[in-house]
Amino acid sequence: MKGKACVKQMICGAKRTMIMAGVVPVVAALCFSACVSQQRVVVGVSGQLAVSYGAYPSIEVDIAAVTDGELTEIKNAGVENYFAPDSGIRERIDAQTLFFSEEQTKPLTLPTRTETWKNWLQKDPSTLVVIAGLPYDPSMPEPPAPDPRIITIPIKKRFVFAPNVYVLAEPKKIVQVKKAPLNPQTNVQKNTGASGTENGEER
């Protein structure tokens, strides 16, 4: 009798192991989108744009979560070709566009937990890319050399959401900053020499 009980116990244990082995991959797949850091991106423009160009230029800023292959395509194309009407890259990567101009200098936000992020996560992206359609300058490098109008932020796989990403469009480049950008037309402050403050923008 004891032998039969042991055999029965072994069979039950094996069944539980098989069930758990099947459950773990399913749970992992279901939680993947929750495990990826969906970063909230806040984009602003620098007051130096008006100084450099005489006015705030009309700028499109694209944001997308991309795969390694998509990022290579963007870099090889270059900013001018990327924004060209017949490029098709923006549509393929499902880029979200923020618009800035002389009339619109307020910081704009790409939120998390949206249908856009849901679609991005389905392709297992590696990088969050921000591309600014700033005016071309002859001093800018030719693609695929790094273009200062493109910044990349690794997407980390973890349960805890990453902190906000703050980005600022400046003359000839776009940069990541430590604190939320301000509206340069309503929050202009004199530079008093304090560290990290310029035209009301925190770095």
Q: What residue spans define the domains of the chain?
A: 1-35, 37-202
Residue 140 has a pLDDT of 82
Residue 79 has a pLDDT of 95
Residue 20 has a pLDDT of 42
Residue-wise DSSP of 135-192: PP-TTSPPTTSPPTTEEEEEPPB-SSPPPPEEEEEETTEEEEESS----TTTS-----
Peptide bond into 111 cis (omega under 30): no
pLDDT grade, residue 4 (50/70/90)? low
pLDDT digits (tens, 9 = 90+) for 77-131: 999 999 999 999 999 999 999 999 999 999 999 988 889 999 999 999 999 999 9
Q: Are 60 and 98 in contact (CB under 8 A)?
A: yes
Residue 148 has a pLDDT of 95
In angstroms, the CA 35 to CA 81 distance is 34
Is the pLDDT score of 75 beyond 80?
yes
Residue 33 has a pLDDT of 45
> Residue 195: what are its φ and ψ, rounded to 5°?
-65, 130
Is the pLDDT score of 163 beyond 90?
no
For 20, residues 6+ apart whose C-beta sits below 8 A from its C-beta are none
User: Can you name the CATH fold of 37-202?
Assistant: Immunoglobulin-like (2.60.40)
